[in-house]
């Protein structure tokens, strides 16, 4: 079926509501119709994500139901899967609750038990719920920190981690077999008796697990009278649990950004609801300055990512990057456990290959085994699962440069709730030493060396965005650079071909990780550049990870390497 035929079918199908048809009739640009109907969203290990709107390549009730039917067919092939059921959660984005309800209708119509969240909740609560209820799978309707026009559909499997690649392939194949209208159960066929709404007991069980991850439960109460923290959920789900959790941990001077506490899918006070951007902290800084706080914490809409800003010696608020916060948390956790005699002999941590090697130095200093995995928290979850099945290894922390952290094994996805708790506890610890988190970061660099990063993206537009991304990666492989920013390349890892090349000797070995469309370059002076297509958006992401003897040298290395790879990529 051509995209024009697909478009006409949606205009005439009885299954399509009149509001959707009116939206389609209003489209005047032929390219817009082509973009919406040339194909379906790709269902991968990250599920689905796209702009909301009518069409097969957009997030709407019909594509959500279509994907859910594909998942239902996988579950029905899994012994006991229907009885174990599926937990279904959603965030604050526009239409998220509608999409979650439609997913529950399809699953129940197919005879599958559903645990439908009664209210919006953070993504990590969904991961926890899958394990708590013993579900076979979970669905979370969220687009994380994307702009307001986006929504998404993430699928989890029985361990609480995102859907494994083989199951994602099965779901994708099943979706391809199903007609988006005729093959999907209508809302009228839903079975309400199979839908159970969650209640407060789930929140209580989750928060109990989060609070159990405190490294030193006395740290926050010890400085409660002198420690003020500002928190904002950026109009997302974090406000449902984080303030109460922090108070239970002993924080008495908690100030919230009231203008951003109410869930709102339009995100009216921020251009991007992303704690990676300092601009998201503007309102928080105003409040922090007025109440005398030296720490602001912000979580993204689905509360799986967290960012922070802290005051430097000049009294100015400075952003702490995801890489820096991961290293700070790791140093704090190790130090606190050592000071209290609780450091496990078999401790391990996990980070991604695009996360700063500063953490490697921290682990080496504390005798902690560090694992490097591909980008995506599901790979961190797999390492946890392997250790649990093997019966050894104590998990300290999992983290990635994109502001995602997890301590504890109650969930299998990044958790900004527990990360917020740990950041507050860490700030309390440094408060007793007369330091802010920026002071702590300076101390970390002095101890382990200086590390700086630059991350940027090359956006692709149009109906052929995927083809453009593939062409960029193909050209980079066929015309491999010999140097980046004037720095000779010493080692190249191509995770797609699963080969590592020693440029000087010509020796080839494996990568030790699963196949993935990622190119990894190490320069002779130890700087790292990684290029990979995004799995959720039409863009190619570039990571520059530099290190040096001084902060000035390191910043310059990062700048030069970033400029060099930009020139190569055009």
DSSP assignments along 145-185, one per residue: TS-TTEEEEEEEETTSSBPPHHHHHHHHHHHHHS-TTTTS-
What is the percent of the chain with per-residue pLDDT over 90, rounded to a whole number? 95
Give yes or no for a contact between 242 and 308, defined as CB atoms under 8 angstroms apart.
no
Task: Give yes or no on whether 3-198 and 450-569 have one common fold.
Answer: no
Averaged over successive runs of 10 residues, the pLDDT of the chain (570 residues) comes to 94 96 96 94 88 97 98 98 98 98 98 98 98 98 94 97 93 96 97 98 98 97 96 98 98 98 97 95 98 97 98 96 98 96 96 96 98 94 96 97 97 97 98 97 97 94 87 95 95 97 96 96 95 87 95 96 95
Closest CA to 308 of 214, 135, 190, 441: 441
Per the CB < 8 A criterion, the answer to whether 270 and 234 are in contact is yes
Q: Residue 463: its pLDDT value, please? A: 75
Distant-in-sequence, close-in-space partners of 434: CB < 8 Å, separation ≥ 6: none
Q: What is the pLDDT of residue 418?
A: 98
Compute the distance between CA of residue 298 and CA of residue 282 in angstroms, rounded to an integer: 11
Please report, for the chain, the start and end positions of each structural domain, with discontinuous segments joined by +.
3-198, 207-448, 450-569
pLDDT digits (tens, 9 = 90+) for 551-560: 999 999 999 9
The pLDDT assigned to 213 comes to: 98
pTM for the predicted model, two decimal places = 0.95
CATH of domain 3-198: 3.40.120.10
Pairing relationship of beta strands 48-51 and 150-157 according to DSSP bridges:
antiparallel
pLDDT number for residue 231: 98
The pLDDT, as a whole number, for residue 45 is 76
pLDDT at 54: 98
Contact status, residue 165 vs residue 45, Cβ threshold 8 Å: yes
Q: Which of 50, 144, 293, 356 is catalytic?
A: 144
**Ordered strands of the 86-90 beta sheet:** 48-51, 150-157, 137-141, 86-90, 114-116, 195-197
Dump pLDDT digits (tens) for 290-306: 999 999 999 999 999 99
**pLDDT the model gives residue 292:** 96
Q: Decide: 94 and 134 in contact? Cβ < 8 Å.
A: no
| Phi, psi angle pair for 293, to nearest 5° | -90, 145
**C-alpha atoms less than 13 angstroms from C-alpha of 419 in its C-beta half-sphere:** 32
pLDDT in tens, 519-536: 999 999 999 999 999 877
Alpha helices, DSSP H only, in 353-490?
358-366, 377-390, 416-432, 437-448, 465-478
Q: What is the pLDDT of residue 491?
A: 98
- Nearest by Cα to 307 from 204, 236, 357: 236
CATH, range 207-448 = 3.40.120.10
Burial class (CB in 10 A: 0-12, 13-18, 19+), 279: exposed
Retrieve residue 257's tokens: 């950004």
Superfamily of chain region 450-569: Alpha-D-phosphohexomutase, C-terminal domain (3.30.310.50)
Three-state SS at 368: coil
Active site residue 186: no
């Amino acid at each position: 079926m051509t995209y024009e035929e697909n478009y006409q079918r949606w205009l005439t199908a009885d299954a399509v509501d009149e509001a959707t048809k009116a939206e389609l009739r209003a489209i005047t640009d032929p390219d817009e119709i082509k973009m919406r109907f040339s194909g379906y969203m790709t269902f991968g290990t990250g599920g689905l994500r796209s702009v909301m709107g009518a069409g097969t390549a957009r997030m709407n009730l019909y594509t959500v139901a279509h994907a859910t039917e594909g998942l239902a067919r996988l579950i029905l092939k899994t012994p006991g899967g229907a009885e174990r059921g599926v937990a279904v959660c959603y965030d604050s984005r526009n239409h998220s609750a509608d999409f979650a309800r439609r997913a529950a209708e399809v699953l129940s119509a197919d005879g599958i038990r559903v645990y439908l969240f009664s209210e919006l909740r953070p993504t990590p609560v969904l991961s926890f719920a899958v394990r708590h209820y013993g579900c076979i799978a979970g669905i979370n309707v969220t687009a994380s920190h994307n702009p307001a026009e986006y929504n998404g559909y993430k699928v989890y499997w029985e361990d609480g981690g995102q859907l494994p690649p083989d199951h994602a392939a099965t779901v994708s194949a099943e979706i391809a077999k199903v007609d988006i209208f005729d093959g999907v159960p209508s809302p009228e066929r839903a079975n309400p008796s199979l839908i159970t709404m969650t209640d407060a007991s789930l929140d209580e069980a989750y928060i109990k697990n989060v609070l159990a991850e405190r490294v030193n439960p006395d740290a926050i109460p010890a400085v409660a009278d002198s420690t003020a923290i500002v928190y904002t959920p950026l109009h997302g789900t974090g406000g449902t649990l984080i303030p109460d959790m922090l108070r239970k941990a002993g924080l008495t001077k908690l100030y919230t950004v009231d203008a951003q506490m109410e869930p709102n899918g339009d995100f009216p006070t921020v251009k991007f609801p992303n704690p990676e951007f300092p601009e998201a902290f503007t309102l928080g800084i105003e409040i922090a300055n007025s109440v005398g706080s030296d720490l602001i914490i912000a979580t993204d809409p689905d509360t799986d990512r967290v960012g922070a800003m802290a005051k430097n010696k000049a009294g100015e608020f400075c952003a702490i990057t995801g890489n820096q916060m991961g290293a700070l948390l790791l140093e704090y956790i190790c130090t606190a456990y050592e000071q209290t005699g609780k450091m496990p002999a078999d401790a391990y941590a996990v980070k991604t290959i695009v996360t700063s090697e500063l953490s490697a130095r921290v682990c080496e200093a504390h005798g902690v085994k560090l694992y490097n995995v591909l980008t995506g928290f599901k790979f961190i979850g797999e390492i946890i699962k392997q250790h649990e099945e093997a019966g050894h290894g104590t998990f300290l922390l999992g983290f990635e440069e994109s502001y995602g952290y997890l301590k504890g094994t109650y969930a299998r996805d990044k958790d900004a709730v527990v990360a917020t708790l740990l950041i507050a506890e860490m700030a309390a610890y440094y408060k007793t030493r007369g330091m802010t988190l920026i002071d702590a970061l300076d101390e970390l660099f002095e101890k382990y060396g200086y590390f700086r990063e630059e991350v940027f993206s090359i956006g692709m537009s149009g109906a052929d965005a995927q083809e453009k991304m593939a062409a960029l990666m193909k050209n980079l492989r066929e015309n491999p650079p010999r140097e980046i920013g004037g720095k000779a390349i010493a080692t190249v890892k191509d995770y797609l071909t699963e080969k590592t090349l020693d440029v000087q000797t010509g020796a080839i070995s494996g990568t030790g990780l699963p196949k993935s469309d990622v190119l990894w370059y190490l320069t002779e002076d130890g700087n790292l550049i990684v290029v990979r297509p995004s799995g959720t958006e039409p863009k190619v992401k570039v990571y520059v990870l530099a290190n040096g003897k001084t902060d000035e040298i390191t910043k310059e290395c990062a700048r030069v390497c970033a400029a060099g790879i930009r020139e190569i990529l055009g």
